[in-house]
Amino acid sequence: MKELLGAIIMFGALIGVWYWIASKFRRQGIGLFTRHFVGVICGVGAFMIAGILAAGTGLFEPKPTETADSVNSAEAPAAAGDEAPGDQIDGADAEEVAATSAKHDEPAAEAVEQAAPEPAPATPTESIAQQREEIEAKQGIGIDVPAFTRRFNASMQEVDLPLRFNGNLPALKDDHVQRSFYEMLNDRIVLMITAKPHSDGILEVLITGSGDGTPQSGANIMLSASSAFAATSSQLASKEALLMTSDMLKQYNDTGEQVEVVRNGLVYSYSSNDLFGNMFAVSPVKD
């Protein structure tokens, strides 16, 4: 409506000045061609001046343009085929992940500082050695830290994200019965691992992401989570893992409750909270 009003003002200025000049010159006996030519020139000048004034008063508001990153990350796949897993991200999913994170808009580094997982200390009812043996005997997710690291980084390379996991498993502290550590993939995505006390077997994987509100940050979180999912099982391809994370997001948005999917003896879950933002986890099926 504002644009229409602005256009009426601009064309009104053009026609009005044209008519006024032509009428004035006609009364002075100036020829038809000359008076209308000068009238058109002056009318065009008035048209431009009116346009500048209209824009200055807010009648013309430029539409926001999308950045290249936003267009690429929010672009839905044209068809299933040989495209890279990253091309299969649904734009709405990426925006939802980013928007959910943006509600608290807290970088992952700050969130981890507040609630980083600590290795479980021994309880006084049992000796440290006994508890370590019990945890070592527990069923893990079926992969150790070095193998997970290789698979995760390969999957991240496949989706063309320059984020890598080092897998620097810390030494077991004297008063702890298991090993937990985290690494920052970037300033908003954290990968956390809980491992057995003696071997490098993984008990649980947790990846969290707090986006900055842009679709690209949401896409990065989804790709990191799906790469972590794919790294836990040789039977779960990167594309399948990405589709699974997308389905989990849709279910969570519908119910508002934690979503769990059981595949190959593992529980894959998604939830969200105000501290960590988006939380994707992998753990063994409990007996």
Q: What are phi and psi of 209, to 5 degrees?
A: -150, 130
Confidence (pLDDT) at 115:
45
Under 8 Å CB-to-CB from 8, ≥6 apart: which residues? none
The mean pLDDT values, 10 residues at a time, for the chain of 287 residues are 66 72 68 65 73 67 40 36 54 60 50 49 70 91 95 91 91 89 92 93 94 87 94 91 93 92 94 87 89
Q: Edge to edge, what strands does the sheet with 266-273 contain?
A: 179-184, 189-195, 202-209, 277-284, 266-273, 259-263
Radius of gyration of the chain (CA): 31
CA-closest candidate to residue 121, choices 109, 132, 110: 132
Confidence (pLDDT) at 274:
81
Q: How many whole angstroms separate alpha carbon 253 and alpha carbon 115?
A: 25
